[in-house]
Structure 1
Amino acid sequence: MLKTLRIILSIVGVMLAVFCLITQNVEFIPYLMLILSISIMITGGIELQKDKKEFWGYMCIGVSLFAFYVSIQGFLLS
């Protein structure tokens, strides 16, 4: 379930990034950052669900929280 959701969010994120690059439109960057943060959070959850509690699971969650903060700042400033 989580792997499918991660793949779907990654595809949507890539499509949105390509759209922003082609059209030179930066209005959708906060949405892209939000999708990115959710995708990285899911990746961190998948890593933590494994038997090994490794550094990368916690690192993914930390990075996703930072990306979420940046996306919220983008929504508030624009």
Structure 2
Amino acid sequence: MLKKIRMTTSIIVLGLSLYGLFSNHNEMLPYTMAGLAVLMVIMGAEELQKNRKSYRSYLLFGVSAFLLLVAIQDFIN
């Protein structure tokens, strides 16, 4: 289930990124960062679901929190 959600989210983020790249619309950047944050949360949940005792899942959660903060700050400005 998480794999399908991850693939769907990654396709959406890729589409947003390509649209912003080719059309030079910098207004799409906060949406792309928020999508990447959601994607990293999903990847971290997959790592925790596999019962791996590694730092990777915690790193993914931390980076996603940072991306969400940056995206929210960009939405405000």
TM-score range, shorter chain: over 0.9
Unaligned residue ranges in structure 2 (runs of 5+):
none
- Separation in 2, partners of 1:11, 1:47: 20
Q: Which residue of 2 aligns with 1:6?
A: 6
Work out the CA distance in 2 between the residues paired with 1:28 and 1:52.
35
Task: Read off the aligned partner of 2:54 and give its amino acid letter.
Answer: E
Matches within 5 A, 1:12-51: 12-51=12-51
In structure 1, stretches of 5+ residues that fail to align are none
TM-score by length of 2: 0.96
> Between Structure 1 and Structure 2, how many residues are aligned?
77
Q: Which runs of 4+ in 1 moved over 2 A?
A: none
Identity across the alignment (%): 38
